[in-house]
């Protein structure tokens, strides 16, 4: 191995005591490849197994905690006990290859496709539609529904523990329900769940509390609890970087294992102010990195890209598209084959890369998502 890449392979101990064998995680990416009932498919298990040999941890695609929280067709479910055995197959496949297995748990809220929901009606903090063409106006959640959803995150965590996962990542990013409660765009409530920024934090904090209570009740050893967030929204009103810095100040006190930023490019500046070019990941790390580990992500294709990101002080990095295109990214870096790391996606490589049919079709159908070549 080239000595300059040694920092990538340093072990890292999370606050819970769980140890990662290196600084790289597989980022959570929807793959549209589970069965209709939410159980994991053989294709999906093979896809994760192929990618779990090198990275320190695999964060799975998001799993819905309630039937009304589905965000995608054929996604993983963690909303009922009958799915535990299926989830165990996924956790085991990841762990057998040497990575920590982390299940991302979420509720889509107003971003759910209505046709996937039991009653065809989306819900959210308030009856405000997302700013996209043809979007449904969600029904404002009642107090009882809010409490049931908070409990569902705890129950999902219990199932993840029973299934053998090493941790869960609470998905508070990408405009889904937890973010919707924090956002002044989607949360116009005037009760204890909305209004001031402190009240808009109440739902995310209650979810964290529910998850951590489940860990205390059911986990036999160190169990990872992470939280993913998007630093800004384009909408007005919408989440600003100032809002997020206040949020992460509070999140840093919740005894979490990490905060995972969801951005397209590690080095990218503000989506709200083009003159602000400071990395959102670095801003969060500078604010709370001494209190809680931060995971950066986004367009880190080569080992040199990763080293440059680590040099900012951010201790952990997640690779998404990079690990789809190059499942052996870590192994090739470790064996001085970094020149052989694939940074484009040949149209003929599906079988070699062990990518499920639905995900491959999606990649091929969305121009610019991946650097596809003939």
Active site members: 176
Distance, CA of 33 to CA of 48 (rounded, Å): 12
**Tokens 């759910």, located at residue:** 112
Distance, CA of 228 to CA of 258 (rounded, Å): 8
CB 269 within 8 A of CB 278: yes
Distance, CA of 55 to CA of 59 (rounded, Å): 10
Distance, CA of 245 to CA of 284 (rounded, Å): 7
Alpha carbons within 13 angstroms on the beta-carbon side of residue 327 total 16
CB 333 within 8 A of CB 341: yes
- Peptide bond connecting 183 to the previous residue in cis, omega within 30 degrees of 0: no
Q: Is 100 helix (H, G, I), strand (E, B) or coil?
A: strand
Distance, CA of 350 to CA of 356 (rounded, Å): 8
CB 76 within 8 A of CB 40: yes
Which runs of E-coded beta strand occur in the chain?
A: 12-13, 19-20, 24-26, 57-64, 76-77, 100-106, 123-124, 139-140, 167-172, 224-229, 258-261, 294-297, 316-319, 345-346, 372-373
Distance, CA of 96 to CA of 26 (rounded, Å): 16
Kindly give the pairing relationship between strand 100-106 and strand 12-13. Answer: unpaired
Cα distances from 293 to residues 101, 179, 258, 313, 343, in angstroms, run 18, 20, 5, 10, 28
CB 54 within 8 A of CB 330: yes
């Amino acid at each position: 191995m080239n000595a300059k890449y040694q920092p990538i392979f340093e072990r890292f101990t999370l606050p819970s005591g769980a140890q990662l064998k290196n600084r790289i995680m597989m980022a959570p990416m929807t793959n549209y490849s589970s069965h209709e009932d939410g159980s994991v498919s053989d294709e999906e298990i093979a896809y994760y197994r192929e990618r779990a040999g090198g990275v320190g941890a695999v964060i799975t695609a998001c799993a819905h905690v309630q039937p009304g929280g589905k965000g995608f067709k054929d996604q993983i479910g963690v909303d009922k006990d009958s799915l535990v055995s299926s989830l165990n197959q996924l956790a085991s496949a990841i762990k057998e290859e040497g990575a920590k297995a982390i299940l991302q748990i979420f509720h889509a809220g107003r971003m759910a496709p209505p046709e996937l929901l039991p009653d065809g009606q989306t819900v959210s903090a308030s009856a405000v539609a997302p700013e996209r063409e043809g979007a449904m106006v969600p029904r404002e959640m009642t107090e009882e529904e809010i409490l049931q959803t908070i409990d569902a995150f705890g129950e999902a965590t219990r199932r993840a523990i029973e299934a053998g996962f090493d941790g869960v990542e609470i998905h508070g990013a990408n405009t889904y329900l937890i973010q919707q409660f924090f956002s002044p765009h989607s949360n116009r409530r005037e009760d204890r769940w909305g209004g001031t920024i402190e009240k808009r934090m109440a739902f995310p904090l209650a979810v964290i509390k529910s998850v951590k209570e489940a860990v205390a009740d059911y986990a036999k050893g160190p169990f990872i609890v992470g939280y993913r967030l998007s630093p800004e929204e384009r909408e007005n009103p919408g989440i600003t970087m100032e809002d997020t810095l206040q949020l992460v100040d509070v999140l840093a006190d919740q005894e979490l294992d990490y905060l995972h930023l969801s951005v397209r490019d590690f080095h990218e500046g503000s989506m709200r102010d083009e003159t602000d070019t400071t990395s959102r990941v670095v801003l969060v790390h500078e604010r709370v990195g001494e209190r809680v580990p931060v995971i950066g992500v986004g367009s880190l294709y080569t080992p040199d890209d990763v080293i440059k990101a680590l040099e900012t002080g951010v201790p952990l990095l997640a690779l998404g598209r990079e690990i789809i295109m190059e499942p052996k990214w870590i192994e090739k870096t470790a064996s001085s084959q970094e020149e052989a790391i694939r940074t484009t996606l040949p149209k003929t490589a599906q079988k070699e890369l062990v990518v499920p049919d639905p995900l491959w079709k999606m990649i091929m159908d969305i121009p610019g998502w991946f650097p596809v070549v003939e």
